[in-house]
């Protein structure tokens, strides 16, 4: 979650830089009519990452309480990775390529992706372990 908090913070800083530089010049009414999920620019994309992280935590709680499946953790992690990729790609479209804030967002994005990859790897290892234990019930 700390990596996601950093990602949201860096996306907010980059959004402010983009607005200050005047790179966000599209007509907002036309753009948001077609893309309603982007009403707040990069912050909307960052919010999507946060929502996906909340889902991951809920699914983890379900697994711990024996009410959920491990596969749900993989799906939730992949959703975080997809939302993070969408955030980063959209930021590259609007931001100056040499922006230090874009580089910071890139680092934060890589950190989130690393964390989600670790979750997926851990879940897959847990699945293998559980399958092996079910073969030998002693």
Tens-place pLDDT, residues 61-111: 999 999 999 999 999 999 999 999 999 998 888 888 999 999 999 999 999
- What does the DSSP 8-state code read for residue 26? S
* Burial status of residue 4 (CB atoms within 10 A of its CB: 0-12, 13-18, 19 or more): buried
The residues spanned by each domain of the chain are: 1-135
Angle at CA 27, nearest 5°, toward 21 and 38? 85
pLDDT at 81: 96
Instruction: Quickly state the pLDDT bin for 32 (edges 50, 70, 90).
Output: very low
pLDDT at 94: 83
pTM for the full model? 0.82
Average pLDDT for residues 35-50, to the nearest whole number? 76
Task: Reply yes or no on domain 1-135 having CATH 3.40.1260.10.
Answer: no
Nearest to 10 by CA among 68, 51, 49: 49
d(CA 95, CA 21) in angstroms, rounded, equals 9
Residues of the chain above pLDDT 90, percent? 62
């Amino acid at each position: 979650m700390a990596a996601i908090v950093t990602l949201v913070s860096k996306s907010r800083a980059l959004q402010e830089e983009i607005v200050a530089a005047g790179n966000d010049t599209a007509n907002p009414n036309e753009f948001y009519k077609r893309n309603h999920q982007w009403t707040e620019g990069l912050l909307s994309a960052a919010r999507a990452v946060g929502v996906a992280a909340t889902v991951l935590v809920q699914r983890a709680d379900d697994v711990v309480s024996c009410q959920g499946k491990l596969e749900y953790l993989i799906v939730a992690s992949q959703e975080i990775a997809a939302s993070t990729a969408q955030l980063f790609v959209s930021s590259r479209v609007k931001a100056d390529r040499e922006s230090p804030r874009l580089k910071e967002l890139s680092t934060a994005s890589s950190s989130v992706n690393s964390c989600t990859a670790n979750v997926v790897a851990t879940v897959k290892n847990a699945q293998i372990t559980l399958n092996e234990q079910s073969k030998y019930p002693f």
